[in-house]
Amino acid sequence: MKKNIIIFVLCAAICAFPAAVPAAYAASAPEVSAKACVLYEPEGGRWLYEKNADVRLPMASTTKIMTAMVALRLLELDEVYTVPRDACGIEGSSLYLAEGDRVSVRDLLYALLLRSANDAASALAILACGSEEAFAAEMNAEAARLGLTNTHFINPHGLDAEGHYCSARDLALILAAAMEDERFVEISGCKKYTVQLEERAQVLYNHNKLLHLTDYALCGKTGFTKKSGRCLASAAVRDGVSLISVTLCAPDDWNDHIKLFNFGSDRLERKQVITESDAFRVPVTGGTKEELLCRPSQDFFAVTEKDGAPPTREVLLPSVIYAPVRQGDIIGVLRIRDDGKVIGEICLLAGENIEYKEQKRPALLRWLKEAVFGK
């Protein structure tokens, strides 16, 4: 009991560090239990909440987000492999793989992301690269490609190891990158899955309770070791706005994430900025019409600040448009800015045909021609 009290006091002191929050939000920023955390809006690249965001910390099984991302790139989902000896008997959460088991990459990924099976992580690493060490090198190469500076992997499962760390900001960017693959979102957002191993079946339940506690949680990954404390990286979609929250060493992580998602959704909204039916008219030279009707090639939606100025539209066109013009021709670009930042560019297409019109010669030129050459 005395030991538990000491641990609780230490965690409370750690989690009391002040948060770095954008000035506009500071007055209403939530209190969170995490030692380090971020709230990130990936579409616009907004950091809505930061607390020790760039501090290097152990991240436990949230490591498996990168493991899954690399495995999905290197392995085929439906490929079936024989489990090697080195992937068996890994400590911690487990699928209880036995040497010689035949299992698909798909089943290993569900075990990795739902049950957080460490033996599944080792199996994927060995099958993809021959060893955990070689796979960790591939994970670090992927981190470098993402431009991460506070991340380093030693293993694919996240068990404590010297030099194995990540920051809350980097982990948010890793989750954002992983979510670009719809297979990752589908698997890590699944609540229940059954794995069939030889003659035994195992039912897996997702450790991410946010999937059950809310109707807006999309996917994510949990993690815990005594050294790291409770870790959680999660994604949510509320009213069309995607948000990613990461907490490291967070005794009250579920509530931390709910508070952060509420905080973000209170400030952001998704608006339609451009519709295909919007019309623009531009001058035309040498045509049967003097103006050309143009329309955007597609609708455009943007995540914006609820209390901020609306996005602006800038029409980029050539100085002169010459006939003939065919409907569907690309005429120019419609550039959308939010708070000065370019958030999208949409092609402007000709909405009609305009034929070339032969110009009549002035009367004097006709008279001279007739005088010299005759009628």
Active-site annotation holds for 116:
yes
Q: How much is the pLDDT for 107?
A: 97
Copy the structure tokens of residue 374: 């005759």
44 or 169: which leads in pLDDT? 169
Res. 271: pLDDT tops 50: yes
What mean pLDDT comes out for the span 94-98? 94
Q: 117: closest CA among 171, 68, 57?
A: 68
pLDDT score for 18: 41
Query: Taking the model in full, what pTM does it have?
Result: 0.84
The mean per-residue pLDDT over the stretch 313-341 comes to: 91
Catalytic residue of the set 33, 35, 61, 188: 61
Residue range 169-178: mean pLDDT, rounded: 98
Phi (first) and psi of residue 291, to 5 degrees: -130, 145
Residue for token pair 């508070």: 259
> Which ranges constitute the DSSP H helices of the chain?
2-14, 64-74, 105-110, 118-129, 132-145, 168-178, 182-188, 210-213, 253-265, 363-373
Report, as an integer, the average pLDDT of 358-368: 60
pLDDT of residue 366: 59
CA distance 222 to 230: 8
234-263 pLDDT, tens digit per residue, is: 999 999 999 999 999 999 999 999 999 999
- Kindly state the percentage of the chain with pLDDT values over 90: 79
CATH code assigned to 272-350: 2.60.410.10
Q: Which of the residues 33, 35, 51, 116 is marked catalytic?
A: 116
Q: What is the pLDDT of residue 149?
A: 97
Q: Where are the domains of the chain?
A: 2-266, 272-350
Our answer to whether residue 33 is catalytic in this structure is no
Q: Given a cut of 70, is residue 5 above it in pLDDT? A: no
State the pLDDT at residue 161: 98
> How far apart (Å, rounded) are the C-alpha atoms in residues 115 and 127?
20
Task: Give the domain 2-266 fold.
Answer: Beta-lactamase (3.40.710)
Which is catalytic among the residues 35, 64, 221, 259?
A: 64
The share of the chain scoring above pLDDT 70, in percent, equals: 88
Is 297 one of the annotated active-site residues of the chain? no
Q: What is the pLDDT of residue 9?
A: 34
Average pLDDT for the chain: 90
Instruction: Name the residue among 114, 132, 115, 134 with its Cα closest to residue 123.
Output: 132
- The answer to whether residue 13 scores a pLDDT higher than 50 is no
53-83 confidence digits (pLDDT tens): 999 999 999 999 999 999 999 999 999 999 9
Q: What is the pLDDT of residue 340?
A: 86
